[in-house]
């Protein structure tokens, strides 16, 4: 079983309409792999806030309903991914952000992947392109 750090940008694709989200099938394959215990997903605590924030934006844009968002949040709570404190990752994340000129938010995910000797899977192609040759970051579309 492989260990994967999951970016919130991937998890939201499990719920938002395909007309809004690209790479939904690739994202769903990761969820399926987790449910079948083929992969083990871990996340930084920041993941939960980012996930909910994307749902809120989708509601505001008219792409998603409040009831659907409530159901998505409830389902995610049931999945209960092991979660690592951002405080524990902060120093390494700050270093990554400074060296690679990335946001500290993104770097928290990368720091967790480095610490856990896992692969970060992200739907952020620019992040993956900037870091994939030097850090364990993989773009969802390249899977």
Q: What is the CATH number of the domain that holds 6?
A: 3.40.50.1010
In angstroms, the CA 89 to CA 94 distance is 9
Average pLDDT in the 117-128 region? 96
Q: Count structural domains, the chain.
A: 1
- Percent of the chain at pLDDT > 70 equals 99
Instruction: Indicate the pTM of the whole model.
Output: 0.93
pLDDT at 1: 79
Q: In this model, does residue 106 exceed pLDDT 70?
A: yes
Give per-residue pLDDT as tens, 53-100. 999 999 999 989 999 999 999 999 999 999 999 999 999 999 999 999
pLDDT at 83: 98
Domain hosting 61: range is 2-142
pLDDT at 20: 67
Kindly report the average pLDDT of the chain as a whole number. 95
Taking a C-beta distance cutoff of 8 angstroms, is the pair 66, 59 a contact?
A: yes
| Residue 30 to residues 10, 25, 72, 116, Cα–Cα distance (Å) | 9, 9, 16, 18
Average pLDDT in the 15-41 region? 91
């Amino acid at each position: 079983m492989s260990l994967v750090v999951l970016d919130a940008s991937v998890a939201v694709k499990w719920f938002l309409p395909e007309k809004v989200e690209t790479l939904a099938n690739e994202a769903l394959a990761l969820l399926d792999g987790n449910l079948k215990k083929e992969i083990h997903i871990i996340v930084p605590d920041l993941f939960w806030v980012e996930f909910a924030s994307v749902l809120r934006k989708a509601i505001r844009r008219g792409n998603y309903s409040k009831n659907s968002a409530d159901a998505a949040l409830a389902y995610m709570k049931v999945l209960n991914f092991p979660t690592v404190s951002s405080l524990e990752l902060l120093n390494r994340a700050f270093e990554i952000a400074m060296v690679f000129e990335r946001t500290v938010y993104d770097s928290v995910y990368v720091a967790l992947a480095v610490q856990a000797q896992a692969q970060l899977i992200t739907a952020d192609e620019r992040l993956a392109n900037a870091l994939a040759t030097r850090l364990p970051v993989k773009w969802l579309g390249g899977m």
